[in-house]
Structure 1
Amino acid sequence: MPLYSILRWLAFLECAFLVSSAVFSSNEESALDSYINNLIGCKDIPGLGLAVVKDDDVFTKGYGLADKEKQIKATSSTVFCVGSVTKSMTAMLLARLISSGKYRLRWTTKIKDVLGPDYTFIDDCITDSVTLEDILSHRTGLGSADILLQAGIPEYVTREQMMKNLHYLPKLQEFRDSFFYNNIVYILAAHVAEKRANKTWEQLMKEELLVPLNMTSTVILDERHSETLAVPYIVDKTGKLYKSDERLYSLHPFGPSGSICASADDMTKWLNLITSKGKIAEGAERIISEYVFNGQFNIKSVLNTMWANAYSLTQPQFPVAFDSLGYGYGWFVSYYRGHRVLHHSGSLYGYSCKITYLPDRSSAFVFFTNGPGETKFDETISPVFYYMLDLMLGYPSWLNETTACSYPAPWRNYRSKRSSQDIMSVSGKELEEMDMHTGQYSHPLYGSVTITIINNTLHIRYGLLLTGKLIPTSSSFQLQLFPPLRDVFLSILNVSFKNLSNKNKYQHIEFLSLFEKYTFSRVDYDGDVSGSNIVHCQLKLVFILIILMQYI
């Protein structure tokens, strides 16, 4: 970057932080402080960071605690993880690469033209036609493999290896037919950038965006730790907050979908990039062409009823309407009080985040928390989101300190996203019948699952993190998770076994979540992985070799 551009940017920062209060009047700021402090108290939110950009002015603040045990206060320099807001940052990186003209990329670039014949999908039409645009707008129709993300992946599995196995992803909807949220294909979008630039996504993110924007405290999980990172907390089934297990925050190789962590101070620079439509600072050089930049915010995928309802408020149930219509590249497109609202949520176990861009007001804001996490996401994040929308747009808020604490009541009964892990089981299965299920099952993309018997109960181990026991029901099993996933998994996993062989062993295990089915096939010898059977096989092999050697 030219020296004069850096100096102009540093001068902008100095002036911006000196006039940070210009975003809000003193009365507005006082009311905002009171509202948030009241909310974090009644909703048991440990800490919250807020960043706002309006025209050339910025506002940052921290509320509550970054660390409950040490009583460290959250400030504007406290780092929070943004979760899936990372997707919009991955899309912005691609916008930067496209704008540079050096990498032969467009939004409509076909994946096969970059990655070649080694990367295919279950459907020839998808293989031949899928583009960056299709991936970034979640309209491939492919499964998301989210169980793989939640189970945890060994470090030796590379991003390239995983992407070459995407032909094992099932097709759940018609290609380009409707929106289906998908974490794993965002890795593919990042991998396209990696192949064109011959650098990792992590290197590109830093060199092309974070360093030019002087986002010095921003970190990428799995790469380095931040001393100012807020401690994440999750809530157990009794409602008590506790520090979440640090093993949950290794996202390799899913980094491009959710691994960025940043402070409110750093995020003002990111928000300024958005409100200036691709400039490092007002009056500074443009690093993303306006045409390419605007392409991120156009509807490319129309939300189906389920997704639209999840991100909408309707009248007369609520005092206002919030209509979510579609998805661009890492951004939901909605309308509120006649204004276009571009936004995205992020959740990473204990961390929650919401970023919002109001293009007709040249303003944007982001806030993040370090608890209680995704199981209480709507009831904790939505009251801040709607209050901030009204504040930025100049409307009296329809929420007050009382209704913020009761939200979504009195308008809608609260429906926790938490799945009950207190499962009522039918009578226990006999040990002999349990043995039909034991062994190892595998899938070329999803990895391996091991079923064993411990204390007359079927136990499961999958990936680095997923362990639990299988509780029999009338027709199948339900998975009762052990830590660290016990209090963070958002839906009950029903588990069933299929195809009993003549060896009296099931040949397949199926996991059924809210949206997807994951099937693994038995891989152990003759349907039996007991130690005695393996030793018996080894002795037979030695005996055969001894006989053969007599004839050599």
Structure 2
Amino acid sequence: MADLDENTPMTENTLTCIGSAAKAFTSALLAVLITEDKKKRGTLSWKTTLREIFGEEFRLTSDPVVSSHTTLEDILSHRSGVGSADALLMAQVYPEKYRDVLRRRLILLPKKGQLRGQFSYNNLMYGLAGMAAEAIGGKPYFELMREKLLEPLNITTAVLVDNLDYSQPLTSKPHQMIKGSVKRSDPRFYRLGPFSPAGGLCLSPTDLTKWLYFVNTLGTTPSKKRLVSSFDFMEMTSSKVALDFLTQLGFSLFDPYPQPSYTAWYGMGWFGRFYRGSVDFFHGGSMFSYNSVVVMDTIKQTGIAVTVNGLNPTILQLDLYPLAYYLKDLLLDKTPWLNKTTICSYPEPWGNPFFRPPPTQNVEEKYVGETGEFVGVFGHTLYGEVLVTDNNQSIDLKWGEVMKGTLYDRTNLLSFRLRVDDDVFSVLGSEIGDIKVVFNQFYSGQYNNLEITFQGMMEKYNFSRDVEFNFFLPSQSTSSSTARLISFTTEFCPFVLIMSILVNLFNRL
């Protein structure tokens, strides 16, 4: 169902959101811009540096090597070595109109590794790729996307999730399980702002099949117009960075599974894998209740897309990938190793069953006591400001538009756990996990530094009283207080309300 409350069915024209499977759309948009520039004998390529695009003032972390040498290819293949900031996305610190302010403050991002050293998934870098497209094309990201890619493919329903009209019957509504009942998910949490190029695209199943055609034909429209040169298209799907073992383990199948599947690399918006004699390009997407997986085989000219709008949380590797394997086997004319029984018991009988309890907040006792030394505004030039307030001798905390809660479980003089409000946790809980809040730097009768750690995302953020956050402040202040950063340590049986399965089998050559 597209909407359980209204008993609205899913149709081929109902909009659904595809999460990170939209990263390939952002890469394809840049591929179109590169192809157009080459026709004009320009120099734009995947190797073009961000500094060539944004100007000499551009900074990405405080490392001059990263700032001057990072290319489009680097940010699209998750090998920039820059720390992620997904909690910044979920807190909704930056409205869409301030995306350029965010870009000018990226000097304050921490490094996580070496440039081109390893794969490290980073949604913020895809947001930056969208900004690069704007700088190259001279128009807003989605306007360029519509003009350069969607309209030539006759994709007419596409919209960014921030602009999705949930009142329309042809919009699939996100759903989740709350206290044993299926409920509509609060749409105010489904806003990505400057992160939209990383996973904010929504479109109908009919239009999604047009995208499958575009990929299978290496960048051409149904009218046979080539939007992307075949060379630049193959650059998108070819290996740019090898995957570490833990990432491979999450996406691959080894013994004792009947058929091996080996995911070995990441291109630009696509994972690459070997499965039953074929080479596949695929990508999953997860935005709370909206989840998807797209699998392409450009040699055999097949494409699969599976999307769902519930229930949150969905685990792609357990809920959608098995169905994609089953459909892939059918398209390969091979006997599926999954059947009606094992697709429901997966990963059994080959692996241990996976128990998936609903996310809970592991807090026990709300703090009640003196609050004066804690309350106040703590800021960071990039990460925004955290408001800590007294609530009848308890302590409330708010970061961005939606991240808010109350402090619990004071384990020592400095450390607490944040119990986020129920409406926030019901949507974000499976992503953020436990949240630790630590106050330190006590002087002048108050704590002057605040540290928030999101255990689920393995991200840590620091805020200080002496740092003001303002969208109109100078962008690249690097005073000792604002530059004090701590590196991130990084990163068919479930009940589903709506599932659209698209299988596009083209004429075999």
Structure-2-length-normalised TM-score: 0.85
Give SS of 1:395's match. Answer: coil
| C-alpha distance after superposition, 1:409-465 (max 9, x if no partner) | 34233154964314245xx65512x43322211111111111123244322111111
How far apart in 1 are the matches of 2:197 and 2:231? 24
Q: CA deviation at 1:157?
A: 4.6
Q: Determine the structure 2 residue equivalent to 1:158.
A: 98
Larger radius of gyration: 1
Q: Percent identity?
A: 33
More deviation, 392-401/288-297: 392-401
Aligned residue type for 2:171? L
* Aligned residue among 405, 408, 411 for 1:474: 411
Say if 2:66 is the partner of 1:126. Answer: yes
- After superposition, residues 129-278 of structure 1 pair within 5 angstroms as 129-155=69-95, 157-223=97-163, 225=165, 227=168, 228-236=170-178, 238-278=179-219
**436-445 vs 73-82, which moves further:** 436-445
Say whether the 8 Å CA contact 2:96–2:194 is kept in structure 1. Answer: no
The 1:70/1:165 distance shift into structure 2, 3 A limit, reads: same
Residues 154, 287 of structure 1: alpha-carbon distance in 2 compared, 3 angstrom cutoff: closer
CA gap 1:125/1:416 in 2 versus in 1, 3 angstroms: farther
Root-mean-square deviation (CA), in Å? 2.1
> In 2 relative to 1, CA 181–459 (structure 1 residues): closer, same or farther, beyond 3 Å?
same
Corresponding letter in the other structure for 1:504: G
CA drift of 1:155 comes to: 3.1
1:339 Cα offset (Å): 1.7
Matches within 5 A, 1:75-86: 75-86=11-22
Q: Report deviation, 1:500.
A: 3.1
Ranges in structure 2 where 5+ consecutive residues have no aligned partner: 469-509
Q: Secondary structure at the match of 2:425?
A: coil
CA distance in structure 2 between the partners assigned to 1:67 and 1:151 by the alignment = 26
Structure 1 pair 162–176 and aligned structure 2 pair: CA distance change class (3 A): same
The 8 Å contact of residues 322 and 336 in structure 1, kept in 2 or not, is answered as yes
Distance (Å, rounded) in 2 between the aligned partners of 1:399 and 1:473 = 49
State which of 352, 358, 373 in structure 1 corresponds to 2:291: 352
| Match status 1:406 vs 2:345 | yes
Tell me if structure 2 keeps the 8 A contact 1:81–1:260: yes
Deviations 1:356-411 (A, max 9, x none): 11122111111111101344444321232221221222222222222222223342
SS state at 2:432 partner: coil
Which residue in the other structure is 1:371 paired with?
Answer: 310
Look up the match of 2:389. Answer: 452
Between the two structures, name the one with larger relative contact order (CA 8 Å, sep ≥ 6).
Answer: 2
Q: Distance in 1 between matches of 2:238 and 2:266?
A: 8
Specify the code of the residue in structure 1 equivalent to 2:99.
R
User: Secondary structure in 1 aligned to 2:58?
Assistant: coil
Partner of 1:517: 460
Match of 1:431 in 2: 369
Q: How far apart in 2 are the matches of 1:392 and 1:340? A: 13
Q: What is the alpha-carbon distance in structure 1 between the residues aligned to residue 124 and residue 403 of structure 2?
A: 19
For each residue in 1:67-87, what CA deviation from the matched residue of structure 2 results, as whole angstroms up to 9, or x when unmatched? 111111111111100111111
Which secondary structure does the structure 2 equivalent of 1:518 belong to? strand
Q: Output the CA distance in 2 between the equivalents of 1:67 and 1:430.
A: 42
Alpha-carbon distance, 1:192 to partner? 1.3
Partner Cα distance (1:151, 1:247) in 2: 11
In structure 1, the partner of 2:487 is none
Q: What is the rounded CA distance, in whole Å, between the counterparts of 1:248 and 1:423 in structure 2? A: 23
> TM-score, normalised to structure 1's length?
0.78
What 5-or-longer segments of structure 1 have no aligned partner?
Answer: 1-64, 526-552
Give the structure with the larger helix fraction: 1
In 2, Cα distance between the equivalents of 1:321 and 1:259?
32
SS in 1 for 2:426: coil
Q: Distance in 1 between matches of 2:76 and 2:269?
A: 6
What's the counterpart of residue 480 of structure 2? Answer: none
Aligned CA distance change for structure 1 residues 409 and 176 (closer, same or farther; 3 Å) = same
* Alignment-derived partner of residue 67 in structure 1: 3
CA distance in 2, matches of 1:172, 1:131: 17
